Each structure stands twice: as C-alpha cells, then as structure tokens.
C-alpha cells in the first residue's frame, strides 16, 4: 500500500498545531472552511499529544475518539486502517529516543514489551510521560490499557464507559465458551512470520488465547514432555509428539509462508491429526494475540471456527 500521500496530509495537519490562535473578534460563523479547520486543530493541540507504541493501545486511542491527539505510532499499529497513515516510530521493541522525541509528544503509551529500556528512560528524562502497561495476557491487561489510554489522552470518562461495554462483552463470551462441553481439542499456535517458524508454549499471548477459546495447548500441561514456556523453534519431532487436532496461525504467517499449501508443506505437519482434516484457523495477528479492545470478538471467533474445523 502506498501511504505517502495520506502521511503527508497528516503531517501537514500537524503543522497547523503551531498556528496562532484566531482573533476573538473573528466570529466562528464567519470563518472560511480552512480557517475553521485550523481553529479546530488549535483546540485539539491543547490536549496531550500522544505516541502509541502498541497496536492495542492505538486501537483504544481510536475507540476513545482521541485519534487527533495521536502524533505517532509503532509498526504494530495496523488497526483501524487510519492508523496506517500515522507517522511511524519503528517496531515497538526497537525504538529510538530521537524518533520518539522528534514528534514532540506529551506522553508515550504502550506495554512493557516496548523498548529498549534505555530508550524509554531517555524519553522520560526529556520530560515526556511514559506509561507502559504490564503485558500478562489477561483480561486485566486490557483493562489496564484502557485506563492508561484514558489518562494519557485526558479522556477518563470515555475510557470508563468503554471499559464497561468491553467487560459486558467479556462476560458474555466466557459464558458462551463455558457452555461447550466434551473433550477440548488439542491445538498448537505456529508463529511463522519469518523463515524459522516457532510454536507457542506457556506464558504467551497465544497460549492464553487457546485457553480462553476452550482449546488445549498441546505443548503444555502436567506430565507433558513437550511442555515449555515462551516460544521455541518448530521441529518435526515436536509436532509428531504433540499430535494436534488443530493448527492456529496468523494471516501474516500464511502470507510469509507463500500461501496455505506451502504452509502445510512444512516438515512434520503431514504427520499430525490436524493435517488429515486440514484443520486450520487463520486470523490477523493483532486481532488474535494483540490483547486489545477486540479481544472478546477474537475469542468468540476463534472458539467458533476452531470447533467447526475439528467437527
């Protein structure tokens, strides 16, 4: 996608933040369209300028209607589509103080996965508020993100209302999953965004998502010789031993693999029960493991599609 032109428009708009305030003698009704837009931007400039270094917190900024305060985002900020046209500061784990400070933010928000730590310390030393939410792959993480964005954008009332709606959705989806009885399908999550695919163990967002959706991670559990934490390189031996009924992966991983057929051709997959049924669930990475405001929807979809795939 060529986003040069939309980006230029965004930057042009940001330059208007520095325009002098219109004279009080100029009535709003007499303003030309460009002048009225400039005045709107001047009013917005009094609110905190935000850089979001997490796809999830960026989603929340838009959900709160605070997108005009967003002066920059990281490369994981892919939703909504408008976020693609914001100035980018790089990947959230490989940020630079110069890139962040060049946007003159009042606050930088994200998760504890953002870094390096020395960069975040430099940004704090420059007088910028840095608020990083602990990422523990829980519903409480989503709640902390909503509260943090509400504080950073000075939209606490809107954040409180949003959280109430999301909490109701979360309760509903957990009840829906709980109504499913019988054996839980054995699933594995494959992260294949590069030439060396990895599988998810305990203490990962992917593991948490499998559990929320009523699935069992075939790489974890008491007495499981394959059990591990974090991510490990995918091997044919491990796949055979895990014997998953279902494979879960991302749309980005399928694209990086060269398509679904090439994804299935990876060594070891052909020996799994999932291969025999072609039981595969493919969802967008941010949607699936980003732990943002769409988490209830993602759990709902993963549950429905997964159980249909193994039926």
Asked if 225 and 160 sit in the same domain, the reply is no
Verify that 152 and 70 share a domain, yes or no.
Answer: yes
Q: Are strands 198-200 and 231-233 parallel, antiparallel or unpaired?
A: antiparallel
Q: What confidence score (pLDDT) does residue 170 get?
A: 98
Shared-domain flag, residues 152 and 194: no
pLDDT tens, position by position, 108-166: 999 999 999 999 999 999 999 999 999 999 999 999 999 999 999 999 999 999 999 99
Q: Categorize the per-residue pLDDT at 1 as very low, low, confident or very high, splitting at 50, 70 and 90.
A: very low
The answer to whether residue 259 sits within a structural domain is yes
Which one of 171, 197, 227 terminates a domain?
171
In the listed set 171, 202, 228, which residue is the last one of a domain according to the structure? 171
The answer to whether 257 touches 251, Cβ cutoff 8 Å, is: no
For 78, phi then psi, to 5°, come to -115, 0
32 occurs within a structural domain: no
* Co-location of 203 and 128 in the same domain: no
Range of the domain at 80: 47-171
* pLDDT tens per residue, range 45-67: 589 999 999 999 999 999 999 99
Q: Are residues 195 and 239 in the same domain?
A: yes
The CATH number of the domain holding residue 75 is: 3.40.50.1980
Residue with the bigger pLDDT between 29 and 192: it is 192
Q: Do 126 and 216 share a domain, yes or no?
A: no
| pTM for this prediction | 0.83
Beta carbons within 8 Å of 146's beta carbon, 6+ residues apart: 60, 159, 162, 163, 166, 293
Task: Look over the chain and give the mean of its residue pLDDT values, rounded to a whole number.
Answer: 87
CA distance linking residue 162 with residue 293, whole number of Å = 9
Per the structure, how many domains does the chain have? 2
Same domain, 273 and 247: yes
pLDDT of residue 45: 58
* 114 vs 149: CA distance, rounded Å: 15
Contact of 31 with 51, CB cutoff 8 Å: no
pLDDT in tens, 247-266: 999 999 999 999 999 999 99
Q: Which residue has the higher pLDDT, 14 or 35?
A: 35
* Residue appearing with tokens 């929807």: 297
Domain membership flag for residue 13: no
Please report whether residue 147 resides in a domain: yes
Domain match, 219 and 134 both: no
pLDDT of 135 reads: 94
Q: In the predicted model, is pLDDT for residue 271 greater than 50?
A: yes
Q: Are residues 80 and 162 in the same domain?
A: yes
Q: What pLDDT, in 10s, does the model give residues 275-289?
A: 999 999 999 999 999
Domain boundary pick from 148, 171, 194: 171
Are 155 and 220 contained in the same domain? no
Q: Are residues 195 and 306 in the same domain?
A: yes
Per-residue burial over 198-222, b = 16 or more CB atoms within 10 Å of its CB, e = otherwise: bbbbeebbbbbbbbbbbbbbbbbee
Return the residue matching tokens 């931007």.
41
Assigned domain for 136 exists: yes
Specify the pLDDT at position 225: 75
Is the domain of 161 the same as that of 205? Answer: no
Query: Alpha carbon of 162 to those of 50, 60, 112, 218: distances in Å?
Result: 19, 9, 23, 35
Whether residue 122 is contained in a domain is answered as: yes
pLDDT tens for each residue of 152-170: 999 999 999 999 999 999 9
pLDDT digit string (tens) for 180-232?
988 999 999 999 998 899 999 999 999 999 999 999 999 998 777 778 999 99
Residue 7 domain-assigned? no
> Domain for residue 34, yes or no?
no
């Amino acid at each position: 996608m060529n986003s040069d032109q939309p980006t230029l428009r965004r930057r042009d708009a940001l330059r208007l933040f520095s325009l002098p305030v219109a004279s009080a003698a100029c009535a709003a009704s007499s303003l030309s369209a460009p002048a009225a837009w400039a005045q709107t931007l001047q009013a917005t400039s009094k609110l905190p300028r935000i850089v979001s270094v997490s796809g999830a917190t960026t989603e929340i900024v838009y959900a709160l209607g605070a997108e005009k305060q967003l002066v920059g985002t990281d490369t994981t900020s892919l939703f909504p589509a408008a976020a693609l046209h914001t100035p980018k500061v790089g990947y959230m784990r490989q940020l630079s103080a110069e890139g962040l400070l060049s946007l003159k933010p009042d606050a930088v928000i994200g998760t504890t996965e953002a870094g390096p730590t020395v960069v975040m310390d430099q940004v704090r030393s420059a007088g910028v508020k840095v608020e990083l939410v602990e990422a523990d792959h829980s519903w409480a993480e989503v709640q902390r993100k909503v509260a943090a964005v509400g504080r950073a954008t000075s939209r606490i009332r809107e954040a409180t209302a949003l959280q109430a709606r999301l909490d109701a959705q979360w309760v509903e989806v957990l009840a829906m999953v709980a109504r499913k009885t019988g054996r839980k399908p054995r699933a594995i999550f494959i992260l294949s965004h590069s030439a060396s695919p990895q599988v998810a163990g305990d203490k990962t967002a992917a593991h948490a998502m499998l559990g929320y959706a009523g699935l069992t991670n075939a790489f974890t559990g008491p007495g499981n010789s394959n059990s591990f934490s974090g991510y490990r390189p995918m091997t044919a031996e491990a796949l055979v031993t895990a014997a998953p009924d279902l494979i879960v992966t991302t749309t980005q991983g399928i694209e990086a693999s060269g398509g679904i057929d090439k994804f299935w051709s990876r060594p070891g997959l052909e020996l799994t029960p999932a291969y025999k049924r072609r039981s595969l669930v493919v969802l967008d990475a941010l949607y699936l493991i980003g732990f943002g405001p769409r988490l209830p929807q993602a759990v709902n979809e993963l549950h429905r599609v997964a159980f249909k795939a193994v039926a």
